[in-house]
Amino acid sequence: QVQLAESGGGVVQPGASLRLSCAASGFDFSRYGMHWVRQAPGKGLEWLAVIWYDGSNKNYADSVKGRFTISRDNSKNTLYLQMNSLRAEDTAVYFCASVYQPGATFLGSWGQGTLVTVSS
Amino acid sequence: DIQMTQSPSTLSASVGDRVNISCRASQTISSWLAWYQQRPGKAPNLLIYKASYLESGVPSRFSASGSGTEFTLTINSLQPDDFATYYCQQYSTNSYTFGPGTKLEI
């Protein structure tokens, strides 16, 4: 079955950078588009970014465009989110999610999330 | 960008009740809508895709309808496990906006 495991979260100061990873297993990662979504404490879900199965296309929410970069290494079955110039409002649990099936665009399976806290 | 709204923001109900949750898009999204359930401290789970298609393994008391800009999630005969927060999400464009969520509470 699909398993997604995020890592790389932690406490960082404003202005710092952080890279999140999402290790995928149980499915053919190289055929699935992948998303990042976050959830600030006590708030709703915010979609952040999507990357096509082969990395050929990426899209971002306006709130993170220019600061966050989504990427993937299909040889390592791993998705990444490079986060730069972090702000207090980026404090959230960050989830990775796979699309439902190859060719689909909506989110099917989710990881359990990793917490990022931006604080001085 | 397409904006999504949900109503109500909070819904109080009892076990055995039938409830409806509404989701509205700021412009037409055809049937490109999904519904997710999230329990506290957990990742969201897919319930419905393409506006009305029930995900495998999701109980049949869940159903959904709608197209264009107006969508509804219906839960029949509420069970204790159903008290959670529900989100709609559009995937009509490459900006996959979520609704703000509806908290279903006892």
Q: What is the pLDDT of residues A52-85, one digit of tens each?
A: 999 999 999 999 999 999 999 999 999 999 999 9
pLDDT of residue B106: 86
What integer best gives the mean pLDDT of chain B?
97
Low-confidence ranges of chain A (pLDDT < 70): none
**Whole-angstrom distance, CA of residue B60 vs CA of residue B20:** 15
Q: Which residues of B touch A37 (CB under 8 A)?
A: 98
pLDDT of residue A107: 96
What's the pLDDT score for residue B1?
Answer: 87
Nearest CA in chain B to A104: B91
Cβ–Cβ < 8 Å for B46, B55: yes
CB-CB neighbors (< 8 A) of A46 in chain B: 98
- Could you tell me which residues come within 8 angstroms of residue B55 by beta carbon, excluding any fewer than 6 positions away? B46, B47, B48, B49
Say yes or no for a CB contact (<8 Å) between B91 and A106: yes
Nearest chain B CA: its distance from A115 CA (Å): 12
- Considering only CA atoms, which of A98, A74, A94, A73 is closest in space to residue A83? A94
Size of the A and B interface in Cβ pairs below 8 Å: 56
Chain B residue closest in CA terms to A98: B46
Q: How far is A22 from chain B (nearest CA, A)?
A: 14
